[in-house]
Amino acid sequence: MNMQTLINFKFQFSDFLKKNMARILVLGCGLVGKTIVKDLAKTYQVGVVDIDLQNLNQIQKFVDVQTFLGDATDKLFISPLLKDYDVVVSAVPGSIGFKVLNQLIEFEKNVVDISFFPENPFELDEIAKANSVTAIVDCGVAPGLSNIIVGYQNSKDKLASATIYVGGLPFERVLPFEYKAPFSPSDVIEEYLRVARIKSEGKIVQVQPLTELEHIYFPKVGTLEAFLTDGLRTLLFTTNIPNLKEKTLRYPGYAEKIKFLKDLGFFGTKPVKTKVGEYVPLYLTESILTPLWKLTPAENEFTAMRVVMKSSTSDKNYIYELFDQTDFAEQNSSMGRTTGFVATGITNLLIQGEIQQKGIVAPETLGENSKMFEFVVNYLRNRGIELKYNEDYLGTNI
């Protein structure tokens, strides 16, 4: 067999595998969605739905996928598409995530979801089980990988506490915010408005977001500030860990600026009368911040995460760290990589039949299975994302 024949055989065999493997429909093709599509399209037949034609045209420059222009919340539009696909990955904005997931479950489709909607996903557990659907929610970096880590470590040694620090930021610090949004700015703002739920001594406690400020040092970027946000989600209900917190990472001074806008009413939802009519402050603020926070493909940004856990049975601390930055060669942002590759890794587990549980599945339950934990960690490592582990916590000097 000569070289040309061998190459042709490989291409034909690859096409054969794609045609005989699961078909995946991805809903949403933004900064994270496009990374998901590109990764899955290497192995599977992939279809993509987006409401923005520019996003669909952009993804076709990278991979050969079928694209559909339309609204994922429109049942008449989405229903006929679903018949041709085995698994759906939902990467829609959080504002419509719950509605989309509910519809997918009604259509009896297995789902991997990264929409991070504010509603409680377990409200859909009963209907998912009745329809024999597996719907894995919060399949990103945090929530997602952070949950998997906590679930894994808690299964090995009962934990007394876990604190998750996570954030995505540009390397170039441009005032006034020194921030760029790697996903929907409206979803970012929503994090600052929603009451943060933490666990304290076994009880779920509601506290104001942007509070409990502390400073954390990361070698490659220096000192970052961390403040409470409502990111624990399913961990509040699925684990027996008595103390849980999630904190968002930003450059120092950011939280004070956001609280200033919040206190002045710029995030208000009631219309305000002006000389030219009534306007909702939140929508106006979103319109102003969106271009300021827009992350362009040319910008270098990073994602940092640290999960600090304390044992309830010994003096041990368990610390997992992740640091990733833009992959310009593949044109993937770090948030696209760290969120998207967790989702595609879990999608592979689902397709391979490793996840048999029906209903709403929280990522921490996957972490309780050592095989699944190792699969996700290795899946990320093979894509250049290294999860580091140690037991020597030195406070702010890690």
Whole-prediction pTM: 0.91
Please report the pLDDT score of residue 222 as a whole number: 96
Please report the pLDDT score of residue 348 as a whole number: 97
Which of 278, 284, 254, 253 has its CA nearest to residue 266?
284
Q: How confident is the model at residue 187 (pLDDT cuts 50, 70, 90)?
A: confident
Q: How far apart, in whole angstroms, are the C-alpha atoms of residue 339 and residue 150?
A: 17
Q: Does residue 365 carry a pLDDT above 80?
A: yes
Which of 105, 101, 110 has its CA nearest to residue 128?
105
DSSP secondary structure letter of residue 240: -
Helix (H, G, I), strand (E, B) or coil at 326: coil
Q: What is the mean pLDDT of the chain?
A: 92
Please report the pLDDT score of residue 396 as a whole number: 39
Q: What are phi and psi of 71, to 5 degrees?
A: -95, 120
Q: How far apart, in whole angstroms, are the C-alpha atoms of residue 271 and residue 265?
A: 11
Lowest mean pLDDT among 55-64, 145-154, 242-251, 389-398: 389-398
Q: How confident is the model at residue 85 (pLDDT cuts 50, 70, 90)?
A: very high
End-to-end CA distance of the chain: 55
Lowest mean pLDDT among 222-226, 378-382, 389-393: 389-393
C-alpha separations of 363 from 126, 139, 188 in Å: 18, 7, 22
Q: How far apart, in whole angstroms, are the C-alpha atoms of residue 373 and residue 382?
A: 14
Q: How many CB atoms lie within 10 A of CB 174?
A: 11
Q: Angle 343-241-356 (CA atoms, 0-180°, nearest 5)?
A: 40
Which of 172, 325, 174, 168 has its CA nearest to residue 249?
168
Please report the pLDDT score of residue 3 as a whole number: 47
Which of 113, 254, 238 has its CA nearest to residue 180?
254
C-alpha separations of 37 from 83, 90, 107, 363 in Å: 19, 11, 22, 21
Please confirm whether the linkage preceding 143 is cis (ω < 30° from 0).
Answer: yes
Helix (H, G, I), strand (E, B) or coil at 312: coil
Please report the pLDDT score of residue 13 as a whole number: 39
Show the domains of the chain with their CATH numbers. Answer: 3-136 (3.40.50.720), 145-332+385-397 (3.30.360.10)
Please report the pLDDT score of residue 171 as a whole number: 96
Q: How far apart, in whole angstroms, are the C-alpha atoms of residue 234 and residue 237?
A: 6
Q: How confident is the model at residue 20 (pLDDT cuts 50, 70, 90)?
A: low
Given a contact cutoff of 8 angstroms between Cβ atoms, the answer to whether 87 and 347 are in contact is: yes
Q: How confident is the model at residue 297 (pLDDT cuts 50, 70, 90)?
A: confident
Residue 140 identity: G
Rg, Å, the chain Cα set: 21
Q: Does residue 398 carry a pLDDT above 50?
A: no
